[in-house]
Structures are given as C-alpha cells and as structure tokens.
Chains A and B, each alone.
Chain A
Amino acid sequence: MTTFSDKGAAGAGVGLRLPHIQEVVTTLPHARWLEIHPENFLANPHATELLLETRRHYPVSVHTVGLSIGSATGIDRNHLRRVRALIDRLDPCMVSGHLAWSTHEGEFLNDLVPLPYDEETLRLLSAHLGEVQDGLGREYLVENPASYFGFGNSTMTEVEFLGELTERTGCRLLCDVSNIHVSGHNMGFDPYAYIDGLPAHAIGEIHLGGFTIEPDGATPGADLLVDTHSTFIAEPSWDLYGHAIRRFGAIPTLIEWDKDIPALATLLAQAAHADQVVARSLAPEPARAAAC
C-alpha cells in the first residue's frame, strides 16, 4: 500500500491550484508536498502537462471533489475511470475524498452536501468506498465535512459514524481540523472531544483551511462559520491542530486555499507555520512551555 512515508513526503504541504502551477514548475519553490483536485485537470491538457512536470519534483496527493461517495444514486463510473487514468500517470502518495454527496442522477452540484448518519448511509458508504477503491486500485481516505445543518433522523454522531466506517471497511481518514472547528461552532459540539473520539490509528492526513464568519440570520447576534477556504487559518484552528497532533502524531498536513487565492509564498508561509505548530506540540513539556 502506498503511503506518505513510502514516498518521502511528510510535514505540511500546500494545495496546488491552477493560478500557481506555472510558477511552481518554473521556480520549484521549497514545498514538502502538493495536493491537487483532479477535477481541475481532467479537462485541461495544458495544466495536466504542467502537473506531470511538477510531479517530477514533488510528492503529489490527489483530493477528489467529484466522486461523491455519499450519492444514493450511485458513483459516476465514467468520472471514476477518468480519475483512475490521471492517478495512474501521477502515482500520487495519497488519494482522498469527502464524507458527503455532490451528484444526483447525473447532475453535479459543485458542493459537498451533508449526509444523515444512520445504518442506511453506512451501508451505502461502505459499498461505495469498496467500489471507489477497487476502481482506483488504491486506498481512498475519507474526510469529515464542514456542516451547517444535520438531520434529525441521524442515529449516530459524525464521530461514531466515521469510527464505524473505518471498522467496517478498513478505510483511513483525512481529518480536516478546520472543518471540525467550523462544524463544532455551527452545530454546537466540542471540537476537542470530536478529535478525541476519532480512531487515531486511522488518521492518514490532516487538512487546514480558512473560513469566514457570517451572521446567523436566524439568531440575532450569533455567527455562523462558513468553510470558504478563502483566508488564513484562524487561531482556534491552529490550537485545535496542536491538539490533533498531540493525539495523532506528526500527520502530513495540507494548507487549503481555494478562493481569493493569495501569492504562493503566503501558502508556503502557512505550511511553515503548521510545521512549527507540530514541532511545538510534540516537544517535551519543558520545551513546549519555553516555546510559549
């Protein structure tokens, strides 16, 4: 099985988005590893050509946004084949996607919509994970979503659902720390308890992304956190990240920034900060205190 350590990738990497790809190919900046969305490349031969050149210099992870393992109407097998063809050329260090759905009967909603957490969804996800992993010929990590609402008929919490999913399928998880902070705020749960409830052995990757704060229209004076990936990682997310690292260890971590994309140097600086948080979080107690 291919893992980060097999490929020599570790520490904090950055999401490689189209506005930066020519710069990366030309300047080969110091980045530990890069993550791409295959959907940005499948219909773009020029970007794919640049990506394959990039791959010669960096470990690359593939993070799908369109496989939609939570769709009740099934996996888009044509899309699965296209993703497989790309990853066969890339030989990525990891492939991942979301605990969510985004397609319905051949329509793509360009968003990640939440699922009810019950036995029906668990059976569906387990079957689709098998189909995706068989179709890709690789392990497929599942990422916890950012939530604004849930379903009253859910019979388990998200953490319980993810734990059961890993038990039944053997899959590993992509722990999006910022999503946990966002969902915890919006849905009223303790994000630290959420981290503590995840199966530590199953965590293969961590994501960190920025969110925006918007008024919660239904509750005067209250805020809603929206997972926009359009700004810097917020301090509460860094704090939660430190807790996650102390619990899971030095897991490869990705800085995500998908909207209002800044200069590449800004992303790399966020990645460097993530590495510092890891070093501080794993340092022996006296050193950790000194660092503070």
Chain B
Amino acid sequence: MPRLAELQRKLRDAIVGGGEASGVVPLLVGGANPAERLAIHRHHYEASLVGTLIGKFAATTWLIGSALMDDAAKAFVSRHPPAAPCIAEYGGDFPRFLAERAETRSLGCIRDFAELEWHLGHAAIAVDSPAIDLQALAAYGDRVADIGLVVQGGLRYLASPWPVDDLMRLYLTETAPDSFVLSATDVWLEIGGSRGAIRFDRLDRGTFVFRRALAEGHTLGVAGEQALEADESLDVGAALRSLIGKGLAIDIRSP
C-alpha cells in the first residue's frame, strides 16, 4: 500500500473513531502538541454529523429525549461514517441502529417511528411530476398486466405494528398529552410530499401492498397478485383507478 494511503488510514481512524492516532502523531507538526490540533478534525466530524442526525430526527429526539439521542448519534457516527458526500443521504440506517441499542430497544415502536420521520424528510424535499391518466394505459390492451408504473418521487410505504402515525401527529401538532398509551395496532402508511409539503395516510392492507409493489418496480400483474395474497377481497381494478386518480403515477414502464 502506498505510504500516503497508510497515513490517511491512520488519520481516518483518529477522526472517525477518536483513537490515539498511534503511529501518525510523530509525523505531525504544528504548535506544541499537533495531536490536539488533529482533534479539531475529530470534533468537526462528530459535531457536524451528530447535528445532522439530530436535525433529521427531531421527532425521534422528542420521543426518546436529547440525552439518549445524543449518545446514540455519537455512537452511530463513530461506527457508520457517511458512504457518500451528500449528507442529505446520511442517516437511513439510523432507525435500525436505534432499535438495536440497549437503551432504546425496549421502545418497540422506535424503529418504525424513526423510519416514518426519515421518509417524511425525504418527502419534504421531493418534487411532484405531472401525473398520467387512465387513457395512457389503454394502448397496452391485453398486455396491461405486464407494464409497470413509475410513481411520484416522494412516495414511501411503511407497515408497522404500532400506530406511529398517531404519535407523529402528536409531535407535529404539538398536542402531546402528559401521558399517552400506544397500543399495538397494525398500520399501513403511505408517505408523500412535494416542495416542502408532507402527508402520511393510512391505507388498507391490500391497497398498501399493491402500491408498494408498484413503487418497488413490479409490474401491475405482480402487484395485483401480491395485493390479492394480502387481501383476497381487494378490487385490483379499483385500486389501480384510485392510484391513477390521485395522481400518484407519473410514467409507464413498458414490457
């Protein structure tokens, strides 16, 4: 390995992990103790990313408290550095990380609540595109089951055994009571938004599975099959008309 790469690996370990940078400190110059100056980079790395996570997960911070959030965020940035230079994309794994920590594991809804917040953040910066109408599907005739639909960029789908949407509304409307009992209830949520506006709505299970399958890139035929497995009483035709009618589909993926 080239000498520079080895030097940068050691500096990376000191900045991300807060290690002693053994082996690299003797190479540094600057002031009476260059190692202390290296800590400026360590501090910036941690403070900037912890601040980013707390900003993105403000509702989650409200739920678990600032102290737990701060500890979790520091642990996360030490173990999971950003994989890309766009910090807007950083933090998608944080809900799972929170759910695995001893301090927050007992809060059963924490992962889904944090994921809902992550999706809302994504929806807020999305931009809606012009929607297609049912006429656009007519040209495919008997082959319509083989096409896919491109959905609005801000759409995300989240299923949870907890009514995390109720909890999120309490946060967003600042109407949290002194105590709130969260009872286990299956919810199937569609999260959407555009140009700063956000929404999250409950769907019935069949419609949720249908729309999620299309958002994942499956064909109408496959999405319909999956939806009927989830709810054999679902009217797939009506589900498709509803999707199109709400302006959620923006293009067709031809067979």
Q: Which A residues are closer than 8 A to B by beta carbons?
A: 39-40, 42-47, 49, 65-68, 71-73, 76, 78-79, 82, 101-111, 113, 115-116, 120-121, 124, 147-153, 186-187, 216-219, 222, 224, 226
Instruction: Tell whether A109 pairs with B16 under 8 Å between CB atoms, given A71-B8, A152-B28.
Output: yes
Q: Which of B29-37, B136-144, B167-175 contacts A (4 or more CB under 8 A)?
A: B29-37
- Is residue B19 within 8 Å, beta carbon to beta carbon, of the partner chain? no
Contact yes or no, B8 A226, CB < 8 A: no
How many A-B pairs have beta carbons closer than 8 Å: the answer is 142
Contact yes or no, A108 B31, CB < 8 A: no
Q: How far is the CB of B216 from chain A (nearest CB, A)?
A: 20
Identify A218's interface contact among B32, B44, B89, B125, CB under 8 A: B32
Question: Which A residues lie within 8 Å of B48 (CB)?
Answer: 110-111
- Is residue B7 within 8 Å, beta carbon to beta carbon, of the partner chain? yes
Interface residues on B, range: 35 or more
Question: Which A residues lie within 8 Å of B27 (CB)?
Answer: 116, 151-153
Contact yes or no, A149 B37, CB < 8 A: yes
Q: Which B residues are closer than 8 A to A by beta carbons?
A: 2-5, 7-9, 11-12, 15-16, 26-34, 36-38, 40-41, 44-45, 48-49, 81-89, 124-127, 153, 194-196
Task: State in angstroms the CA–CA spacing of A18 and B40 once bound together.
Answer: 25
Question: Which A residues lie within 8 Å of B41 (CB)?
Answer: 109, 111, 113, 148
Contact yes or no, A108 B81, CB < 8 A: yes
- Beyond A76-B85, A108-B81, A110-B45, 7 additional pairs, beta carbon < 8 A: A45-B153, A49-B127, A113-B8, A113-B41, A120-B3, A149-B34, A187-B30
Contact yes or no, A124 B82, CB < 8 A: no
Question: Which A residues lie within 8 Å of B84 (CB)?
Answer: 66, 76, 78-79, 108
Contact yes or no, B32 A110, CB < 8 A: no
Task: State in angstroms the CA–CA spacing of A102 and B26 once bound together.
Answer: 21
